[in-house]
Amino acid sequence: MLILDIQLVVVVLCFPFSIGDDYYELLGVQKNANNREIRKAFKKLAVTMHPDKNQADPDAHTTFVRLTKAYEVLKDAESRKKYDLYGEEGVGTSDKQSYHSWSYYRDNFGIYDDDPEIVTLNKADFDQSVLNSRSLWFINFYSPMCSHCHELAPAWRRLARELEGVIRMGAVNCEEDWVLCRQEGITVYPSLFVYPAREKYNGERNEDDMQNFILSRLQASVLRVDDKVWEQDRGSSTWLLVLCRAEDDGCLGPDTRLKLAAILEGLVMVGQVDCGSSEELCKKFGKSTESCVIYWEPLEQHPVGVTHRILGTDAKEIAKEVLSFLPEPSALDKEGFDEMRNGLKIGSPYPWVVYFYLGETTADMELELKKLPGLLPDMRLGKVHCGRWAELCKDLHIARYPLFAVFKLGGGHEIHHGRETAHDIANFARDSSAAPNVRVLAPPEFPDLLSSGHESGAWLVDFYAPWCPPCLRLLPELRKASRHFDSSVNFGTIDCTIHASLCRQHNIRSYPTTILYNNTEKQQFHGDHTATSLVDFLKDLLNPVVVKLTEQSFYSSVGKKSPDELWMVDFFAPWCGPCQQLAPEWRKLAKMVSSVANIHIGAVDCEAEVSLCRQQGVRSYPTIRLYPLGGQGLSTIAMYSGFQRDAHSLQQWLFGFIPSPVEELTPESFERRVLNSEQPWLVDFYAPWCGHCVVFAPEFQIIAQRLEGRVLAGKVNCNAFRHLCHQAGISGYPTVLLYYGSDRHYQGVEIQSQSADYIIAHTEHVISQQQHQESHLSHDEF
């Protein structure tokens, strides 16, 4: 346990500090650098500063070890977070890092980092961009030490260039991201998979075979257009039409047509016209004697539309030219922007993706912007020039350019922090717009929300920094969690790199820090960074099951408890790490025993209740005390001294102080009490060495207590009574069998669940049906 006397030391360690060289400066990268930038910077330094190449320098080894240490720390999200908070002390000071030969860094390290068409994925990227994406991915799981992986690399690069825009190509280095590779079941290298179907490619690893495999998985299609189809569908969209005299007459090939359909999906209809059978249609476009590609768009002032001839045979070049014809996002001025936000506040059904920029937009970015309408058909797209509308951008605290933000129903907005490609922006926009309760907060709005009497309800506020990988992983989890609550629970994000003084004012010392503000009370979140943990945290605090005890309430409730009551109390300090780890388990324990009468779970904050904790002799945190049944007030106390502080271990200890209605059964008592009984029985068949059985035992005790008076409960030790368990047909532990009715056999009705609520509901349903049948039978006999 953490002793009270070292509180000062813990507080001191909370301040960020660093000794020695700054790791970011060593690698020559910014603090917000992504993993690819860090790898590329390290590789460049490794190739030039490796001891193998600097044998005359006596400090070469020491210098290179420092570089390697810096890279190893910054490439990993968790160690990078510790370094950002506590400096080198936070990640240890050992300089025993091993490193590879010079040739390894030159030939094997980051083999796809210089290929912009290939996305190098880590676990955070993979979860967000691949698993939560609608895009088709082809991913290469490899090891830099694998010769077959290096043999594949040239073909993989060519394929990525050929399929750029058609699908997304990725690579995962399993030597560095082994957790991700294990999660995906990767056991051999290279392993090639198509996502989201997670289909493995088992063909030849050459460019042509891999491309054919991918093209056969595309959902896009090329429409065959004749006069009838054209008259029906021409006004519905713009078109890219491939006019063919014959397949061998310079006509665009089927693979190229399919690639174009995939690249332009949602933006332009792609069709093929056979000018042999639809000659008149081809003449309408002025092309009846040769194969060609045209872009057609409907215009009100031109009844037959406008046709543009497109030269070239390369799918990417044709797509690029087509995109140049598409309209740009709506340019928003101050009035238009305000009108858009006000519309969203009063119920406009269309969220907006807004692009904030300075100067001229690059040609590549223009193309990405023009892809967005096809990816986001249910959203509107706009752009704001922050040079012209500086005050507007200042009010929104736009601190970098270019920047994308999603403005959603209700008027809130969020900032995009990922890659600035159309697919990544679209993924973010869909995710963000589906979470209208999540919004960016900034002063003076944020302090006002905390004022007493404010009617906005509870706020879960996430203080973060865009350069912090754990922060960026938490944001989508925050959105998922928000979908479990109505508008009475709000979710806000505060960027501490922009609002540093606000974060200091609220004593934010690490990122991410997530705090629930509920009227005048606040509670910091210390659980796993998952939506499930956030939802449990909020539900537990908004509808508390743990009794918050003050000095007055402690003595009036625990101090005056009757012999029929049991109290279990956690004495904690908010700054204590083990206490923070215990908090979610303590709330879970309270929920697990909430249905058991006269059991109360409480907590005392010893920082707020100093006098009470001193009076009770609390000297270390957390201190867990139990005031058992049979004792009056504080007369009897049990101290928890177990090493495990998870909810199940605590529940098991607690139930040792409660009389159990579960009867231990032997073969003789089983036959006499269960098989020859007129009352229903639930029997738990278990083995003492079985971990699941140990966890389930308190749950079964709760079941027995809740069904007491209607159903009897027993348990059989299958280690001691193997023959009985064999007669009952037991093949795994724990197994729960229900025995009811007059004609009973050893093999009862198995209930395939270990949930108390399910077992109780199922048992009550079965017994109710039996009673109903017996009632009908009795009536018929009468």
493 SS3 class: strand
Q: Which two tokens stand for residue 249?
A: 């007459």
Determine contact, residues 284/304, Cβ cutoff 8 Å: yes
Q: Which of 579, 606, 718, 725 is catalytic?
A: 579
Determine contact, residues 113/171, Cβ cutoff 8 Å: no
Q: Indicate left, alpha or beta for 457 from its phi (over 0: left) and psi (-120 to 50: alpha).
A: left
**What torsion, rounded to 10 degrees, do the Cα atoms 254, 257, 262, 267 define?**
-160
Q: Which of 576, 613, 718, 725 is catalytic?
A: 576
Burial 436-466 (b: 16+ CB within 10 A, else e): bbbbbbbeeebeebbeeeeeebbbbbbbbbb
Q: Which phi and psi (to 5°) does residue 304 adopt?
A: -95, 5
606 in active site: no
Contacts of 113 (CB under 8 A, 6+ apart): 36, 39, 40, 43, 120
Q: Which phi and psi (to 5°) does residue 742 adopt?
A: -85, -30
503 in active site: no
Other CB atoms within 10 A of residue 99 CB: 18
Q: Which phi and psi (to 5°) does residue 570 adopt?
A: -105, 115
Contacts of 275 (CB under 8 A, 6+ apart): 243, 244, 245, 281, 282, 287, 288, 291
Q: Which phi and psi (to 5°) does residue 762 adopt?
A: -65, -45
Place of tokens 């709506």: 330
Distance CA 426, CA 424 (A): 5
Q: How far apart are the first and last CA of the chain?
A: 70
Report CA 601 to chain centroid distance, whole Å. 31
Place of tokens 């569908």: 233
690 in active site: yes
693 in active site: yes
Distance CA 310, CA 172 (A): 38
637 SS3 class: coil
Q: Which of 386, 693, 718, 725 is catalytic?
A: 693
Q: Which amino acid is at 203?
A: G
Q: Which of 90, 89, 143, 82 minimizes the C-alpha distance to 112?
A: 143
β-pair type (118-120, 137-142): unpaired
- Note if the bond before 574 is cis, omega within 30 degrees: no
Q: Which of 75, 76, 67, 74 minimizes the C-alpha distance to 95?
A: 67
Distance CA 598, CA 596 (A): 7
Which residues share a beta bridge with 413?
Answer: 407
Q: Which phi and psi (to 5°) does residue 421 adopt?
A: -110, 155
Q: Which phi and psi (to 5°) does residue 359 adopt?
A: 65, -150
Which residues share a beta bridge with 458?
Answer: 489
Q: Indicate left, alpha or beta for 181 from its phi (over 0: left) and psi (-120 to 50: alpha).
A: alpha
Report CA 476 to chain centroid distance, whole Å. 6
Contacts 24+ apart (CB under 8 A), 375-380: 375/266, 375/422, 375/423, 375/426, 376/426, 376/429, 376/430, 377/266, 378/350, 378/351, 379/350, 379/351, 379/352, 379/353, 379/429, 379/433, 380/330, 380/340, 380/350, 380/351, 380/352, 380/353
Q: Which of 712, 742, 585 minimizes the C-alpha distance to 650?
A: 585
Active site residues: 576, 579, 690, 693
